[in-house]
Amino acid sequence: MEEYPEEMRSPPVSLVSVVGCSELHSSISTHLHSLDPPINTLALPDLSKVSLLLPPPKPNPVPGDSSAPPPAGILKRDWLLKHRTKVPAVVAALISSDRVSGDPAQWLELCSEIDNLKGLIRGRNIKLVLVVVHSNSNEEISEDQMVAVRKRAEVDAKYLLTFYTDDGSQSKQSLDRLGSVFAELAGIYYRDEGRRIKARIERKTSNPTDFNIRYSFKVAVYAEFRRDWVEALRFYEDAYHTLREVIAGASTRLSAIQRLVEIKTVAEQLHFKISTLLLHGGKILEAVTWFRQHNASYRKLKGAPESIFLHWEWMSRQFLVFAELLETSSAAIQSISPLTIGTSERPLTEWEFQPAHYYQLAAHYLKEKRSSLDFAVSMSEGEIDYSAESVAPSSYLGQFARLIEQGDTFVMQPLTDEEYMRFAISEGKRFQDSFEIIALLKKSCESYNNLKVRRMASFCGFQMAREYYAVGDFSNAKLLFDDIASLYRQEGWVTLLWEVLGYLREGSRKHCKVKEFIEYSFEMAALPISADTGIQSFRFEESGPAGPATLQQRETIHKEVFGLVSEKLGLASIENGDDLKVCDDNPLHLEIDLVSPLRLVLLASVAFHEQIIKPGKSTMVTLSLLSQLPLNFEIDQLEVQFNQSHCNFVIMDAQKPHVASLADGQSGRRRETAPSLQLSTNKWLRLTYDIKSDQSGKLECISVIAKMGPHFTICCRAESPASMDDLPLWKFEDRVVTHPTRDPALAFSGQRATQVEEPDPEVDLTLDANGPALIGESFIVPVTVTSKGHEVNSGELKINLVDVRGGGLFSPRDAELSTDSHHVELLGISGSEGEDESQLNTDEIKKIQKSFGLVSVPNLKSGDSWSCKLEIKWYRPKPVMLYVSLGYSPDNNESNTQKVNVHKSLQIEGKNAITISHRLMLPFRRYPLLLSRTKPVPDSDQSVSMPSNETSVLVVSAKNCSEVPLQLLSLSIEGDDNDDTERSRSVHGGEDLLHPALLVPGEEFKKVHTVTSEMNSSKLKLGNVCLRWRRNSGTREQAGSAALVLTNHRLPDVNLESSPLVVSLECPPYAILGDPFTYFVKIQNQTELLQEAKISLADAQSFVISGSHSDTVYILPKSEHMISFKLVPLSSGAQQLPRFTLTAVRYSTGFQPSIAASTIFVFPSQPHFKMVAVGDERKESVVAE
């Protein structure tokens, strides 16, 4: 676009001329320029110089004269420029007022100048404005004088202006008036001119077509001056269409080539104007459609074969200019959605709105131009170089002529077509098209990339890279090619990839890059190009340096690259002439990783047959190699590398003993042989070997290094068959797919890594625990470490207590955080008996936490043993898992030797040893009425209540609920603090157990206390039961060793309640048959109220009763009522006394003594007792079964 002159690129601006009074010119021109639309000003200092501006008019050719010679050209080259910069629409003569009002001489001079001016503008239709400049507002010119001036100049009254320079506001008004008059007159001028020319077009048929084009163009330009874009567009289009008619006759003319060039140049200019107007008007769709038509009309118009490069150059320029136009108005394009536009029969596609598309095509045509030009240059070689200096553009657009010096003046002489062609070719040779093409493609490529259109961008990049390649800029080309190749690899476009790789390969050859050359060659040779696709033979030039994509070509490349690595062939380098070789000085090493494109060349899959192996035991490992190279090839030596380097081994070809002999001198390396190391296309080479490792941990195959020829190696990363990716590119091919291993199961599950286990421990770890643990005691678990072959060095014993149920581990941290979880606690670890305590303390690491312990084990020789004891205490019944693990190293010397671990676990149940229960009893046959028992309160708790001021009996029993016999040492009740005063009880201390009582499992020990409450409090604290016991273990010494355990059991509180009535029954302890006795019922009223009680006594078979059967008695406050019955027993044995029933009316409650309490034993005759005194005072402490 920049090559167009400025007057073409911007819309035309009206031009006016101001003459005279030069001091005002700058303010006037500034003001006019700032108007909307602006007006350009042409200023001349005084009226006498006006002829410089307007040369005297030439006689116009008579319009419409058909006999006139045909025009020499279509458009004058400088016509537009002339009208924009030289021919004003309006001439304003500035006359200072003193000249008007001055003396007659001045007046005459003025008149002659005005006349002169009138003569100049006559016939040109240029408007005249007279401006009388007043430097002083007081100055007045008479009306007559003004009229005289106006008459003289023959201007309308309104075009005679007065201009005040002095005052600010008046000067501003004057400027405004001037501006509006100028705009009006300029509009009239351009309209009139347009009409004048349009009138000529009316007589179209009689005009030569060239004139019609010129006229239309002029009308359009005049319309543009007036900013009438619609009319401008119409006439430009008219001109454009008329031009099409000219083309038909062009070829018959004498200088057809030049004529065509001229037509195209004019068309280009018209097209440019039309496109600009359309795009500025926001009509992008129309612009694109217009461009498409323009392109379609002229694309076939190639002209003479020798000048075809001019056509391509012209085409390229069309696209470039349109791309630039589109780009400058690209902001508007964003809002366009492509598919809503475009007619149904000719839809427009997305890219047609993108400048990138046009840049790309501009580059395309420029390439066409270059090849045509090269051809033309080669044809014209040998001819005398034509001196181009004397050829210059002539006065008509698109025409060239020779300048011939004739004396002082230059004369334009038309050229013949041959001359013109020689000129054009020599001009064409001056330009470096490649760089231009690259620049265009780069723009297109960047633009496409911004749109995230990767494939188009790649295609542009590819063309760019080809240009770079052609001009020898290999580094730039390589960057682009590599980028493009990765896209083609990814999408599997093999033929396109082949082409790109061909360039890369050839480039590396030219620039002596052996490694790259070999890499690209290998990749090309391994591409999936089969015989089928080879049918489409590509033309050599088309497919670039790669040659046709065929199987034969792959084989050729294969042979070439193997010739190179086996050092039979050198790489012929073009750059500096000498061959490149892979040799001692220049060894070559290729790396193939999991994403390398060279995986096609060599793929190594390694599978261990076992997932887990024992140290020192051998297992099988299968190594499988696959290649897609088209021909068979042999590997001299394979080296398999593992992460444990001592496992590495080398595989030799058994058929090549000489190779094996010259192999590396590294001693100690394991060496295997294989029947053959030949790889053929798409066929796995499977090799299986033994492998063993003494080192535990992961054994992983890292890589397989194939050596071919003395100085060439390929390092291939080992892959697991189970997780192997498909081969890129080949995965789309219809090929036979085989497993890397013979065993299909291994192919699906095989891994390149295996786990080597730890060596088997030769140390015994024993945990002894006899029976369940009892709560409260410190339970001893002896741990014994016995060496059975291994020496134990730097041994370490870890102890862990784990909750069995929840699985919740007693990790040290948890135990610290939640105190609740300390149901079981590791108290300590004591060393083995007989070991020196001080040594133990200093040497051993001993860490003990609530559920975790760590203790170091002294060094043990084979056969030695060591033991320690774990003390564990239970607080709650809970099963616990005890884990003990011993870590040691069997070797003494090395610090890095592997640790061997032995684990043992034992589940230990924690159980309650003794359950303590208690009972509160009232004295025999005495029943206080406790109101809380008669009226069960819904929310009453289960706490026991006891009558106050009564003596109760408390029986505490301890039962052995464990499975081992226990020794009970003492049982006592101890008060909590100092609240003993609140109750009174008879305490018989534990020390009165002279010998420890033996409790066998299930046995119960009871102790009786009396409790009397004397206080008026409602609660009675009974205190804690303190039980001292130990495990009973047969012999006396062991019994002494077993630790004493103190078990505390808190007795619940008792409610105290005063009872209103107390009933007590009194009868003798026994009766004798036939012997009467008295049965008393005492009712004691403890209240301040009169109590009414109904009593009744039922008959009994075994007794004869005397006394009232039923009665109602009244008991006075705080007094006692006694009822007595006389009974005579009639039968012996345990007999039921007559049932006595009492009903307290006030409390609506009845009472009947229990059966046990109303039973009496009747002896048949008077018994005889022999009283024996018990040795001690234990009256209330009984051992009961």
Partner 1 sequence: MIVCVAVVGHQNNPLYIQSFTDADDALKLHHIVHCSLDVVDERVNNPKKSGPTLNETFLGLLYPTENYKVYGYLTNTKVKFILVTTDLDVKDADVRNFFRRFHAGYVDAISNPFHEPGKKITSKTFAERVSNIVKSFGFSSTA
Task: Enumerate binding residues for partner 1 (CB under 8 A).
Answer: 299, 337-340, 347, 349-352, 361, 364, 453-456, 459, 462, 490-496, 499, 532, 536-539, 542-543, 731-734
Q: In what order do the strands lie in the sheet with 1159-1163?
A: 1070-1072, 1159-1163, 1133-1136
Between 340 and 1101, whose beta carbon lies closer to partner 1? 340
Between 531 and 937, whose beta carbon lies closer to partner 1? 531
Nearest approach, Cβ of 347 to partner 1 (angstroms)?
6
Looking up tokens 């060393």 gives 831
Nearest approach, Cβ of 679 to partner 1 (angstroms)?
24
Nearest approach, Cβ of 624 to partner 1 (angstroms)?
22
Nearest approach, Cβ of 339 to partner 1 (angstroms)?
5
Give φ, ψ of 83 to 5 degrees. Answer: -75, -20
Residue 969: closest CA among 1039, 1077, 1044: 1044
Nearest approach, Cβ of 365 to partner 1 (angstroms)?
8
- Give the separation between CA 949 and CA 984, rounded to whole angstroms: 10
Between 48 and 495, whose beta carbon lies closer to partner 1? 495
Looking up tokens 């490149």 gives 580
- Give the separation between CA 492 and CA 728, rounded to whole angstroms: 8
The letter for the amino acid at 786 is T
What 3-state DSSP class applies to 1094?
Answer: strand
| H-run or E-run covering 1178 | none
- Give the separation between CA 1109 and CA 1103, rounded to whole angstroms: 14
Cβ proximity of 92 and 178 under 8 Å: yes
Between 172 and 299, whose beta carbon lies closer to partner 1? 299
| H-run or E-run covering 788 | none
Between 352 and 433, whose beta carbon lies closer to partner 1? 352
Nearest approach, Cβ of 361 to partner 1 (angstroms)?
7
Nearest approach, Cβ of 543 to partner 1 (angstroms)?
6
Between 374 and 491, whose beta carbon lies closer to partner 1? 491
Nearest approach, Cβ of 735 to partner 1 (angstroms)?
9
- Inter-CA distances, 648 with 200, 589, 642, Å: 99, 19, 6
Nearest approach, Cβ of 68 to partner 1 (angstroms)?
42
Q: How far is CA 910 from the centre of its chain?
A: 53
Between 539 and 1036, whose beta carbon lies closer to partner 1? 539
Nearest approach, Cβ of 493 to partner 1 (angstroms)?
6
Tokens of 40: 């350009």
Between 349 and 940, whose beta carbon lies closer to partner 1? 349
Between 52 and 535, whose beta carbon lies closer to partner 1? 535
Q: What is the DSSP letter of 720?
A: -
Nearest approach, Cβ of 488 to partner 1 (angstroms)?
8
Nearest approach, Cβ of 259 to partner 1 (angstroms)?
25
Q: How far is CA 286 from the centre of its chain?
A: 45
Between 342 and 996, whose beta carbon lies closer to partner 1? 342
Cβ proximity of 98 and 420 under 8 Å: no
The letter for the amino acid at 603 is L
Nearest approach, Cβ of 394 to partner 1 (angstroms)?
33
Which stretches does DSSP call E strand in 859-913? 865-874, 879-889, 900-911
Nearest approach, Cβ of 500 to partner 1 (angstroms)?
11
Between 557 and 708, whose beta carbon lies closer to partner 1? 557
Nearest approach, Cβ of 729 to partner 1 (angstroms)?
9
Nearest approach, Cβ of 329 to partner 1 (angstroms)?
21
Angle at 83 (CA atoms; ends 32, 114), nearest 5 degrees: 70
Tokens of 828: 């300590």
What 3-state DSSP class applies to 207?
Answer: coil
Looking up tokens 């005084």 gives 46
- Inter-CA distances, 473 with 32, 461, 483, 530, 727, Å: 55, 14, 16, 33, 33
Between 732 and 875, whose beta carbon lies closer to partner 1? 732
Nearest approach, Cβ of 352 to partner 1 (angstroms)?
7
Beta-bridge partners for 95: 132
Between 356 and 582, whose beta carbon lies closer to partner 1? 356
Between 222 and 538, whose beta carbon lies closer to partner 1? 538
What 3-state DSSP class applies to 810?
Answer: coil
- For the stretch 1029-1032, contacts whose Cβ atoms lie closer than 8 Å and that sit 24 or more positions apart, written own/partner, are 1029/913, 1029/914, 1029/966, 1029/967, 1029/968, 1029/969, 1029/999, 1030/966, 1030/967, 1030/969, 1030/996, 1031/774, 1031/777, 1031/964, 1031/965, 1031/966, 1031/967, 1032/964, 1032/965, 1032/966, 1032/967, 1032/998, 1032/999
Between 126 and 361, whose beta carbon lies closer to partner 1? 361
Between 225 and 538, whose beta carbon lies closer to partner 1? 538
Cβ proximity of 1080 and 1121 under 8 Å: no
Between 564 and 600, whose beta carbon lies closer to partner 1? 600
Provide the 10 A C-beta neighbour count for residue 940: 12
Q: Do the strands 1077-1085 and 1103-1106 form a parallel or antiparallel pair, or are they unpaired?
A: unpaired
Give φ, ψ of 1107 to 5 degrees. Answer: 135, 170
Residue 163: closest CA among 140, 135, 133: 133
Q: What is the CA radius of gyration of the chain?
A: 63
Residue 18: closest CA among 93, 83, 86, 97: 93
Between 11 and 545, whose beta carbon lies closer to partner 1? 545
Nearest approach, Cβ of 457 to partner 1 (angstroms)?
9
- Give the separation between CA 743 and CA 365, rounded to whole angstroms: 60
